[in-house]
Amino acid sequence: MSKRPSGNFETSYAQDIAICHTGFQQVVMALFLVCLLIIVPLVSSPYILSVFNIIGITIIAAIGLNILTGYAGQINLGQAGFIAVGAYMCAIMTTHLHLSFWLALPLAAIITGLVGTLFALPSLRVKGFYIAVTTLAAHMIIMWLITHGGNVTGGVEGLAADPPRFGDFIFNTEQHYYFLIIGLTVLLTYAAKNLVRTRFGRAIIAVRDNDLAAPFLGINVFRYKVMAFFICAFYAGVAGALMAGYYKMITVEYFPMLDSIWYIGYLIVGGAGSIVGTIFGVVFLKLLSQIVMWGGPLLGEVVPIFSAGAVSGLMQFTFGVIIIIFLIFEPRGLWHRWQIALSSMRIWPFPY
Amino acid sequence: MKRNLFGLLLLAVVGGLIASLACAPAATTTTTSQPAENVVITIGDLPNLTGAYAATQSFYVEANGGAVKLANEKNYIPGVTLKYEWVDAATDPAKAMTAYKKLLAASPRPAVIIDHNTAIGIALKKTVEVDKIPIVEGGCSNEIVIPPGWVFYYGSPYPCEAGAFVNWFKTQWKENRAPRFAALTWDIPYGRAWITDESLAYIKAQGFEIVGQEFIPAVPADTTPQLLRIREAKADVCFGAMYPSALAVVLKDANKLGMIGTFTWGGVYAVNLAELVDYVGPLANGCTITSTDILPEMWPEKAPLIQEVWDKSGVKLTPAAKYGFANPLERVVIGMGAIKAAVEKVGAKNVDGQAVYNALIQMRNFDPWGAGAPISFSETKRYGQDTVFIGQVKDEKLIILDTARVPDLLPGGKDVPAK
Q: Closest approach of chain A CAs to the CA of B360, in angstroms?
A: 24
CA distances from A237 to A59, A78, A190, A230, A321 (A): 13, 13, 17, 10, 30
Per-residue pLDDT averaged across B75-83, rounded? Answer: 95
Contact criterion met (CB < 8 Å) for A308 and B47 = yes
Residues in B closer than 8 angstroms to A158, CB to CB, are: 119, 122-123, 143, 189
Query: Residue B230: which pLDDT band, with cuts at 50, 70 and 90?
Result: very high
| A89 in Cβ contact with A110 (< 8 Å) | no
* B113 compared with B318, residue with greater pLDDT: B113
Taking the Cβ of residue A298 and every Cβ of chain B, the question of whether any pair is shorter than 8 Å is answered with yes
- Diameter of chain A by CA atoms? 67
Candidates A249, A298, A302; nearest CB to B122: A249
Interface mutation target, options B17, B127, B187, chain A, most CBs of A under 10 Å: B17
- Diameter of chain B by CA atoms? 81
The 3-state DSSP class for residue B78 equals: coil
* Residue B163: Cβ within 10 Å count: 29
Candidates B105, B119, B315; nearest CB to A47: B105
Contact criterion met (CB < 8 Å) for B191 and A248 = no
* B36 compared with B375, residue with greater pLDDT: B375
The torsion region of residue B47 among left (phi > 0), alpha (psi -120 to 50) and beta comes to beta
| A143 in Cβ contact with B218 (< 8 Å) | no
Candidates A298, A314, A315; nearest CB to B24: A298
Q: B108: cis peptide before it, omega within 30°? A: yes
Candidates B2, B49, B191; nearest CB to A329: B2
Candidates A248, A304, A315; nearest CB to B314: A304
Contact criterion met (CB < 8 Å) for A46 and B101 = yes
Query: Residue B27: which pLDDT band, with cuts at 50, 70 and 90?
Result: very low
Contact criterion met (CB < 8 Å) for A54 and B61 = no
CA distances from A68 to A75, A117, A276, B167, B183 (A): 7, 12, 15, 56, 41
What is residue A253's DSSP assignment? G
Does A292 have pLDDT greater than 70?
A: yes
pLDDT at B32: 52
**% pLDDT > 90, chain A:** 55
Taking the Cβ of residue A301 and every Cβ of chain B, the question of whether any pair is shorter than 8 Å is answered with yes
| A200 in Cβ contact with A52 (< 8 Å) | no
Q: Residue B264 pairs with which residues in a beta bridge?
A: B237
Phi, psi for B178 (deg, rounded to 5): -70, 135
What residue in A sits closest to B63 (Cα-Cα)?
A308
pLDDT digits (tens, 9 = 90+) for A190-203: 999 999 999 999 99
Closest listed residue to residue B62, CA positions, set B406, B317, B360, B405: B317
Closest listed residue to residue A101, CA positions, set A92, A110, A112: A92
pLDDT at B84: 93
pLDDT at B24: 43
Does A214 have pLDDT greater than 50?
A: yes
| A72 in Cβ contact with A225 (< 8 Å) | yes
What is residue B193's DSSP assignment? T
Rounded distance between C-alpha atoms, residue B64 and residue B91, angstroms: 18
What residue in A sits closest to B90 (Cα-Cα)?
A313
Residues in B closer than 8 angstroms to A159, CB to CB, are: none
Per-residue pLDDT averaged across B228-247, rounded? Answer: 94
| A77 in Cβ contact with A258 (< 8 Å) | no
Residue B79: exposed, middle, or buried by beta-carbon count in 10 A (0-12, 13-18, 19+)? middle
Rounded distance between C-alpha atoms, residue B196 and residue B407, angstroms: 14
Candidates A254, A322, A325; nearest CB to B93: A254
Rounded distance between C-alpha atoms, residue B401 and residue B323, angstroms: 16
Rounded distance between C-alpha atoms, residue B85 and residue A46, angstroms: 18
Taking the Cβ of residue A249 and every Cβ of chain B, the question of whether any pair is shorter than 8 Å is answered with yes
| B118 in Cβ contact with B193 (< 8 Å) | yes
What residue in A sits closest to B191 (Cα-Cα)?
A156
Residues in A closer than 8 angstroms to B88, CB to CB, are: 293, 296, 308, 312, 315
pLDDT at A248: 87
Does B31 have pLDDT greater than 60?
A: no
Taking the Cβ of residue A308 and every Cβ of chain B, the question of whether any pair is shorter than 8 Å is answered with yes
Does A288 have pLDDT greater than 90?
A: no
Rounded distance between C-alpha atoms, residue B351 and residue B306, angstroms: 26
pLDDT digits (tens, 9 = 90+) for B136-154: 999 888 888 989 999 999 9
Q: Which residues contact A212 (CB under 8 A, 6 or more apart)?
A: none
pLDDT digits (tens, 9 = 90+) for B336-347: 999 999 999 999
Taking the Cβ of residue A254 and every Cβ of chain B, the question of whether any pair is shorter than 8 Å is answered with yes
Does B29 have pLDDT greater than 90?
A: no
* Chains A, B: CB pairs < 8 Å: 159
| B227 in Cβ contact with B255 (< 8 Å) | no
Per-residue pLDDT averaged across A53-65, rounded? Answer: 96
Query: Residue B7: which pLDDT band, with cuts at 50, 70 and 90?
Result: low
Contact criterion met (CB < 8 Å) for A290 and B50 = no
> Domains in chain A and their CATH numbers?
48-346 (1.10.3470)
User: In this structure, are strands B180-186 and B209-216 parallel, antiparallel, or unpaired?
Assistant: parallel
Q: In B117-173, which ranges are E strands?
A: 135-137, 151-153
pLDDT at B316: 65
Q: Where do the H-state alpha helices sit in A213-313?
A: 221-247, 257-270, 275-302, 308-311
pLDDT digits (tens, 9 = 90+) for B268-308: 877 888 889 989 999 999 999 998 888 888 889 999 999 99
Rounded distance between C-alpha atoms, residue A278 and residue A266, angstroms: 6
pLDDT at B26: 38
pLDDT at B265: 93
SS (H, E, C) A160-207: ECCCCEECCEECCCHHHHHHHHHHHHHHHHHHHHHHCCCHHHHHHHHH
The 3-state DSSP class for residue B289 equals: strand
Contact criterion met (CB < 8 Å) for B98 and A290 = yes
Rounded distance between C-alpha atoms, residue B30 and residue B41, angstroms: 12
pLDDT at A157: 78
Sign of CA dihedral B184, B188, B191, B196: positive
User: Chain A, 65-124: which have a CB under 8 Å from a chain B CB?
Assistant: none
Rg of chain B over all Cα atoms, to the nearest angstrom? 22
Residues in B closer than 8 angstroms to A253, CB to CB, are: 91-93, 119, 188-189
Rounded distance between C-alpha atoms, residue B170 and residue A276, angstroms: 64
> Domains in chain B and their CATH numbers?
25-156+298-385 (3.40.50.2300), 159-291+388-405 (3.40.50.2300)
| A139 in Cβ contact with A257 (< 8 Å) | yes
Chain CA centroid to CA A281, Å: 9
Q: Closest approach of chain B CAs to the CA of A18, in angstroms?
A: 29
Taking the Cβ of residue A245 and every Cβ of chain B, the question of whether any pair is shorter than 8 Å is answered with no
Rounded distance between C-alpha atoms, residue B265 and residue B253, angstroms: 14
What ipTM describes this predicted complex?
0.76
Q: Closest approach of chain A CAs to the CA of B171, in angstroms?
A: 32
Does B25 have pLDDT greater than 50?
A: no
Taking the Cβ of residue A300 and every Cβ of chain B, the question of whether any pair is shorter than 8 Å is answered with yes
